[in-house]
Each structure stands twice: as structure tokens, then as C-alpha cells.
Chain A
């Protein structure tokens, strides 16, 4: 067994997410795995990837070992092309300059709606979560990649609260709500890579991660999954991908 088969869940999330990005894209990235994965893609294959942060940054090259504690800190501006106001960087999404939005998620449902606001009834919540930040704006206005931990309590049939809209109630409901562009493109977990089917807009398994079975994915999901006709198996992270990733986060702040 090669050394590369040993990696944490966070590491495979970051590596598989990075592989979804393409050279030349403009990516709006959240903190944690999204920032790390976008930076990893930039270092490995996509030197022309432009990373936007909600703090008001265009074209950052975050320094290895100096990962910012949020997307609103000075470390986010390292080697950037431009800093601007937070409302203005979000308005770039609305104008259509952003190819991909890239976030983590606390709870997701079969239509790709994300909840980061309330566990339980919002009027009397069991847990008040921090809220949307820029998540609602990003997911309302562009194509989304979400990287998150795969647990049954996080993959639910219907989220308690739609903080960041996916396909809402499926079919045309997103467009009918007034969200004419964007939507869930990929969900990446430590078990599999997902897309959404064209008709119902429900979550669909595109590829299994190395060593993971269909049953394992279904057992850890709180709703019935669609499986693509040609479900593939993802290439494991390479030594090079892992080494580059680990050099970005030597303190293992986000990849532990």
C-alpha cells in the first residue's frame, strides 16, 4: 500500500474539491476547506485561477503557513490584484463575473439547500447557528461547489431552514423563486462526489471515493440517493496533491 492511501477526511475533501476547478475560472471561496482547495488548485494546475473573498478581495494568493482565520482578515489580501468593499465584491456575483462559488456546509438536503442558521424550529431553535454570511448571496447567484462532512444528521431529506438556496423544492422551483442563474453543481464529501439530476434536481452520486461502497454512501444519507448510470470511482489523492496541500497548512488548522 502506498503512503498516499493514508489521508484524513479533510484532506480528501480538499483534494477532490480542488480537482473540480478549472484554469482561468473566477472562484468565490469561503473559509476553511474551500479556501484551501482553491489555493491548492492554484498551486497545482491553475495558476490563472482568480480567488475572490467576501471581505473584499480579488485574486488572492494566500501564503503557505499563513492561512487567514476568516475571509475578512488581512492575510486574505496577500498578492491580490485588488481590494474593494464587501458589498462591491458580492455585487460581482450579481453582475455575473463569478464562475463558481465554493463553500462548506453544516446541513444539506436532497435538493442541495444548505442550512447554517437554525437547528429545529427557527422560532424556538434547539441551536442558533451563526447564519449565512455571504453564503446566501453566493448560492443565489452562481454555480456552487460544496465540500462537507458526510453524516446522516447532515444529509437530511429537508433542511430545518433554507439559509443558502440550492434547488429549493426541486424541478423549476429555484427559477420560479426569482433565482434565474446558478444552483448546486457539485457536492464533495469524504465518501463520494455528487451532482444533481436534470429533471427533479435531486442529489445524484457521480463517483465513489476509493474504497467506498454504494451502501456506505446510502447508509450515511438521510434520503434516497439517485445513482448515476455510470458511477465511477475517483482516483485517490496523489503524493504530490497531498504534499502540496500539507505545505499550505503545516499547522493542520483545517486539514486535521
Chain B
């Protein structure tokens, strides 16, 4: 555990991020280019949905990421509350706006697909509603981080909120099995293999990888920003000559963000 703490110290992270961010960004651009080419020029139109099904190459990866990011945030919340890992707070805070962004994309593209296919922009279906709840949780977390000034207290409050909100993830995943929904059931990760033709499945796999790499790139950049923000705060306090110890002073969090 001690070696993990040392390895993932903010200073080590910044060094690692300097190398990883350009590599990850280049891979994202490459995969997005390939994925978009496959989605528009290789995948044939669907026999029922026509060209509209191409929206799913954005919608499905965004939906996967909306849930994946929440799982990442839940791990970070555990890191904050259980192990008090110095990077966990930053990792938690950095993920919430990205999760909100990908969930918004999922909802908006779903709506743009739903209008021509279902004949409506929105239905209060279990899957769609639970994803809307996820979006509201992300917004709540962003608001929570901005409301509480002390980063230590904000991290603990956000971690508890995140862990409580994690109950929504299995609800999203299994909503299509538990309730009779308009939203279709799983067609890629299911018993009996994917229900999609390979010519349509491969562009989806590439787009999902591209979106995941986009998230990794943005996440590394956002965590780096959080570390810098905490260093700035720490330096400002030191520069102001504040001698009074703060409630979190001397904790792993404060020591870790020493420049």
C-alpha cells in the first residue's frame, strides 16, 4: 500500500502525465479517424433504420462511458474514504464533469435517434429515466465540489454521495431486463454473442475504443489541473503567511500537494 501511495504521488503523476497525455491524444485522434471512416463509409445502412442507425456509433460509446466513468469515480471515492489516497480526491473531482459531458451526449444522441425511430424525443422508459438520473447525479457532484470550499471536506462529502449514487449503475444496466422498456435490451454484451452483424459491430468497437481513449486523455489532463489547482491553493496560503493550521493541515492530502 505504501509503495502504491509513493508511486501515485502527485509529483510522480505529473511526470507520468507529461509522457502519457500526448501519446493518448495521438491514439485518440487516430482511432476516432478510423472509427468515423468505418462508421460512415464501411458499415452498410440498416435494413430498417436506414442511415439513422449511424447515430448509435456515438450513442452507444457515450452510454458505456457514462457508466464506466461512474465506476471509476466509485473506486476513487473508496480511495478517498478507505485508503485516503492522495490522488483519489483529484481523481474523483476530475471525473464528474467528464461523466456529465458523456451522459449528456448519450441522452442527446438518444433523443435524436428516438425522434425518427420511436416517433418521440423522450419517453419515461426505465433505461432512459435511469440515465437521466445518472446525469443529475453527475451535476449534483459538480455542484457539491463547487459549493464546499475546503477540498478535504468536499472530497469526503462527494465520496459519500458517489457511493450512494452507485446504486443507479446496476439499475441502468439491468433496467431493460427488469422492466418492460421501449429501449432495446443488450445487443453486444449478451449470452449467445453479439446480435449485430460484424460489418456493423467493428466500427462500434473502434468508436468505443476511441471514446475510451478520449476519456483517458481528458481525465489525465483534468487530474493534472486538479493537482496544479491544489498546489496553487497551497502556495497562496503559504504566500499569505498564514500560520494558523487548517483542519486538514498535516494530513496526507496536504503533504502530497506540496510543490
Asked whether A and B interact, the reply is: no
Residue numbers of A with Cβ under 8 A of B are none
